[in-house]
Each structure stands twice: as C-alpha cells, then as structure tokens.
Amino acid sequence: MGDGIIIGVVDSGIWPDSRAFNDEGLGPVPTRWKGVCKSDGLFNASKHCNKKIIGARWYIKGYLHETGVNVSQFNETIEGTPSPIDIGGHGTHVASTAAGSFVSNVSYYGLNMGTFRGGAPRARLAIYKACWDAPKELCSSSDILAAMDDAVRDGVDVLSVSLGGSFPHLPEVSPDNAIAIGSFHAVAHGIPVVSSAGNDGPTTSSTEEVAPWMISVAASTLDRAFPTPITIGNNKTIMGRGLIIGKRVGFTELVQEDLPKGLSEEELKREPIPEVKGKVVLSFFKDAFEHATAAMQVAISGGLALIVVRPLDDGDLYVYSDSIPHPVVKIPIVEIDFEAGNEILEYLEKSHQATVMIGPSSVLVGKPLTPKIAGFSSRGPNALAPEILKPDIAAPGASILAAVPPEFNSNDNGFAFMSGTSMAAPHISGIIALLRSLHPHWSPAAIKSALVTTAWNEDTYKTSIFAEGSPAKVADPFD
C-alpha cells in the first residue's frame, strides 16, 4: 500500500481539507524526511500538514517575473496570498490519484461510486506548488526547477510531474526544458520521475516529453461509462455519453449552433446568443478541448443542455459537467460521435420544429467497455528524437474520479471527474510507490524496466489494445 514511501507532486498545490488526505492509521513521518510545511496565506502547517501531507512548499518568483505581476496585484486575485493551497483543482486531483487515503461512501451528485483510494493509499505526500491559476495560468520553468531541486533534497522516493510541455517541442538537453533537466538531477539521485505524455493526440509525433530517463505516461480509457439516451422528435433514440443525474431534459426545442472557442467568461457574457435560450444546442467540434468555452456560452445564454459532436478523427471527448468551470455545471452536457451528430443534424434540418429529450444517465461497467488508448493522448515518436520509444506506458486517464477543492464544482462531496494524461501519470506514480516499498534499492532504470516489461498489451478480450482515432487502429509502441 506504499507504507513509508514519499511521493513528491509538482503541480498547482493541494486542498488539504479533502477527506482523501486523512492520515488515519498511518505511523510516524519517516525519519529520513528533510522537508518542511510552509505556513502561508490560507495554508496553516499545524492544521493542514499531518502524517499524510508531510511537506508543502510554493514557488512564485518565476511566475511573477514572466507575467510582470507584482505581489500586491497577485494578492488581489482568487489565489490570494501565495501558499500551497490549490485553487484550480488539478494538483489536488493528481495528488489524490497517486496517494489518496481510503474514503468510503463516495458519491457523485447522489450517484454512489463506492470507496475511493489512490494508487498507494498509505504513501506520504510532499507538495510543491509551481503552477498558478490567476491572474494567468502558468507554470514557470524556473519555479518547476526550484521545486524539483527541493524535492530531491527533501528526500522524496518518486516525483510525479503532470505538467505539459510546449510547442515547439524542446530537446531533452535544451536549457529551456525544465522538466527534462530537473528530472535528470532527480534520477541521478535515484528518484524516478513520472510525467504526462501530453493531450495533443491522436496526431503523430505529438508527445511532449522525450527524455529517456523519465517515464512518460499515455492515457487509456476505463471499463466504465455513463451511457445517456438522446431521443429526437421522430422517436429515434441515440446513445450518447454524459453524466446526467436525476430528471431528464424533457422534449425541448433543438437548435444547431457554431459556438465560440477560446474566449474568456467575461467575453462570453458580453456576447450571449439569444437563439439558444431555453433550448438544447447541438454543436460540432474540431478539437477535443474546445467544448469548454462552448458549454460556458450555452449556460450563459440560457440554454438547457449541450450535445457535443466529437470530431471525425478523434476519440471520446470525456465531457462531464464538472470538468468545465462554473457555471457550466448547471447544464447537462452529452457527447456523441460524428456519425450520430450528422444523423441528428439531418433530422433537425428536415423538421419544422425539432425537439429532443436527454437522459437520465446510467452506469455501465465491465468487459464490454474494454480499455483503449484515449483519442486525446499524445502519440510518439517525438519529432526531435524519433529513435526513442515514447510514451513509455499507458494508464487510466479518461474520466478519472478524484478529490478536488469544494469550489471546483457544485458537487459538495469533494470529488470530480477529470481527463488527460495528467490523470494517467499519478497512477504510475502510485504503482512506483508500491514497488519502492517492496524493493527500496531498485534504481529508476530497474523500476522503469519492471513497469514497461510487465504492462498488459491485451484488452479484456485478450486481443491487442486499440487506439482511438479515425480510423481506430491497433495500438503500437508509439501510442
């Protein structure tokens, strides 16, 4: 279960009051631990650090320099006084996935999801906040390097870094590649480093981290889904994917709109779309992450629900209501594939007044939902080093339920779904914690070898794992 192992997480901080970070049943903090808990802002070390969260630091000098924001201006944002507290939810979700404690009776909007736990529930957590959400989302390279250096000195056993790279991709020896350089020093000190492969799939050569000493993690789907019926006015029912709890959206007028992409909430409020008020909106998308802005626009404009049509050349978009910032959590969001979208569009164009009914969702688990490489997961090889096999391994990264701050969504249970290779990486970090508890003297290379040579390459039907895309194909070493 990861007893005695310390997982360092470089991310956006942590929400320490989450039940996922209780220290029930844990023994004393390992005596070899050299780190600290820093009390700043909303983070009180005496209250928030325990036998689970044993370290918490924050790094902001690089952020302030790169954004040109001074401390006084920063203090007036939603982040408030700099501290290890997580505002956006990413870091909390990652940390709880890697080493969250047992939490029984976890529910999601009244839907019982069972017992939650991270990959190594008895491992300890050391938090290094190097990413900030306001006034601009940014992880400064210098802050990341400082965090990784401190993690090495503090004595973590594995380092989880779910932070994406950038275009153009940087060589592993580039002085601007902070994660590659920081991980090199960590590995030299015997600390395995796990990173996310990126969310630019299914494009070839889109994976970001290429350094051979790191473990780069792709994202797979789960054997769990939430099928949601969409019944159009001609009484034909199409199955979509979403998570609509409680009452269905009754027969309501359906419209098709090309919705805006990439705008802020303030910009959207200035330009509402009156045509969608009180209606269900059907919209086609070219990119797996464009739906966030569009769904916000529908909610702001008074729309009742959004049907997201995913691209022809992509896999599932994994859009659940709480994966998008407030106020979108107040409207149902359902995704369908490109062919189903065209079928609904054809009905809409032929109908004098098209109507639609949506939901409620059900839960489907088991063998019929055999895991695949997620469509959004970045593919290899990295264009700068095509001779290096990347990603190294895949782990669940689609629709992962884990802890988040209470402000993240309207679900007061403190857990939410997120998707991305950022969610896949901490699964591997948790597994490494389990390995290190059994084999404390194994080198990072030995641990990486053990992982990649024992991972499954067959699905639940004992056939080769497939990768989402257009067309779907058998996954190869670069998926």
What is the pTM (predicted TM-score) of this model?
0.87
- CA dist 291 and 308 (Å) reads 7
- Superfamily in which the 6-222+370-474 domain is placed by CATH: Peptidase S8/S53 domain (3.40.50.200)
**pLDDT confidence of residue 397:** 93
Alpha-carbon 191 to chain mean position? 23
Catalytic residue among 195, 196, 378, 422: 422
**pLDDT confidence of residue 145:** 96
- CA dist 123 and 469 (Å) reads 36
Catalytic residue among 48, 90, 93, 427: 90
40 is catalytic: no
Pairing outcome for strands 237-242 and 333-336: antiparallel
**pLDDT confidence of residue 224:** 81
What is the CATH code for 227-362?
3.50.30.30
- CA dist 207 and 155 (Å) reads 29
Encode burial over 392-411: b for 16+ CB neighbours within 10 A, e otherwise. Answer: bbbbbbbbbbbbbbeebbeb
Both tokens of residue 96? 């709880």
11 is catalytic: yes
**pLDDT confidence of residue 150:** 98
**pLDDT confidence of residue 298:** 86
Catalytic residue among 11, 133, 200, 459: 11
**pLDDT confidence of residue 412:** 59
Residue type, 418: M
> If you ran DSSP here, which 8-state letter would residue 88 be given?
S
Alpha-carbon 81 to chain mean position? 26
Give the CB-side neighbour count of residue 437, counting CA atoms within 13 A. Answer: 20
DSSP string of 282-326, one letter each residue: EEE-SSTTTHHHHHHHHHHTT-SEEEEE--TT-------GGGS-T
Based on C-alpha coordinates, what's the Rg of the chain?
A: 22
Q: Where in the chain is the domain with CATH 3.40.50.200?
A: 6-222+370-474
Q: Where in the chain is the domain with CATH 3.50.30.30?
A: 227-362
- CA dist 85 and 87 (Å) reads 6
**pLDDT confidence of residue 33:** 98
Pairing outcome for strands 355-358 and 215-220: unpaired
Angle at 64 between CA 62 and CA 69, to 5 degrees: 165
Blockwise average pLDDT, block size 10, the chain, 479 residues: 96 96 96 95 93 97 90 82 92 97 85 87 98 85 96 98 69 72 96 94 84 94 86 91 73 81 69 86 73 79 87 55 43 85 92 88 78 88 84 93 79 80 97 97 97 89 79 76
Both tokens of residue 320? 């659940």
Contact at 8 Å (CB) between 477 and 211?
no
Contact at 8 Å (CB) between 259 and 285?
no
